[in-house]
Structure 1
């Protein structure tokens, strides 16, 4: 094959070695073999493609150089819905199932029926899933939301948060603020299950314990730095919270001040509560676990370490809790995304 010398053979070989895209590396190999004098059938046999495809890539290289080896896929097919219909479909999906749907969650078959009945759009089930992905949807498990949550109070808290943060900063002019989120989770023999890989169509089994020993895991995480501290306790009261705060305060650098957000549990509002000088506590709106990202940590620990298992006694629970905390919570790079707080401004004062 006749190959133009847009680049020296040595440079093409170097580009092939460092190329991470397998398809593009194969196209470079075609050009290199052509420059080395290989015939089109020999090149095709060496790279596992047809002779015509190899000749086409060489022709594109001859005409455009390296740019000719880029993918030239056509534009994505147009959606079968107008922009107005797309918005109506999104509103229907976001609103969730109605009483007429008679289901608690809209699955592919339900969406297929809705498209046919409400939008006169007939699609196969595979076509429905393709359309949903094109619209930006995935089938996700929602975060729990308390039915008594007050959206107005939550919005007011988020709206007033910057001013509250500035007031704390003014009271600590020589310190750098760090936001922490605190919460407690009970871990015990009332087990949970989590997803497992299994053969399609099967119904795998997993242990779900129903005994009654448990312990409490107290935790605090800074989403900005990934710094996490924890405490295990067989019980939970203001005395334990005070002990936790005292231990946590010793981990805060001398030039920093911790702003700790937590819920309004009774032991967080007790008159016996003792908050260290280098910590300021802020109470979140009632019934608002979605505003406390450390809730994601409990979900992560349960789904990755504490599910599908049984524990003989308190010592086994304690051992499992410590092992999981060391594996996950002490990994700062892991804590940053798990406990990210996109709704709240990060505290990094000058």
Structure 2
């Protein structure tokens, strides 16, 4: 399907436009007259703009101005007041440069202005100037290079596949031997399905980003409690949640947590949504999970936003960081109590359920 064509009003005959173009001397006028001439010749707006060295967005604006008032509306006006350091065309050229290699630091833009246009703006005015050009100022968002283009679709397919019960092991990969891939004799999984989310975190009982009240000294002098252990949690939608502390996140410790999850949720099949941490995807963990009647649903790469337990951790850390504790044991007890209270709510996974889950398949 080709570019969409905008109906261009023919305010003047083409012969008259040719005459105006021959007599024009100002480069800004010549570019705009040529743009209209291109449209008369049948170009789309992007094609007409490209012939004049301008972007499709600029072409769209020019076409709207022409349709609204002909050359009187289309031609630039620089009269009145102090002339800008960059005229309209130069400003558009600058925006295209900034778009090509974005994002930019303020110092980099100052250097670009000096090198390309031989102008300089004061640091205090530069922000105003750039915002007037339509730029935004915010913290950069790092891209996740390994995230697929369609992580939602991938996860939806994996959830649907896991919900379809059968004799196959969802944890086993093609080509792996059959030795050990047998559900333990004492495990029962015919009483329905429990679905939950699995992850580890390292909450701490302090947060320097939170504001505090003080009379005349904001510094904290009391010793801060700290733990080196990881909190490993299971946020269950329709079962019993679990949190425990482990000194490492190695496969043996992760399997101990899986055993705890099984103990907390007897008699049912368990579906566990988790990321691709090395100790999660290794054969040792996948096999042990199968023996426990736990089917693992791995998130697409670099997609932590698809795991609702991330929101649980964020809320837990935000809730606990102002609380003062005496020692590490007290802190861990507090984390466990807080986690238990928070995970009674399924609101953290509401949108996830609406997107990926069919509740009737959990019965």
TM-score, length basis structure 2:
0.48
TM-score, length basis structure 1:
0.49
Structure with greater strand share of residues: 1
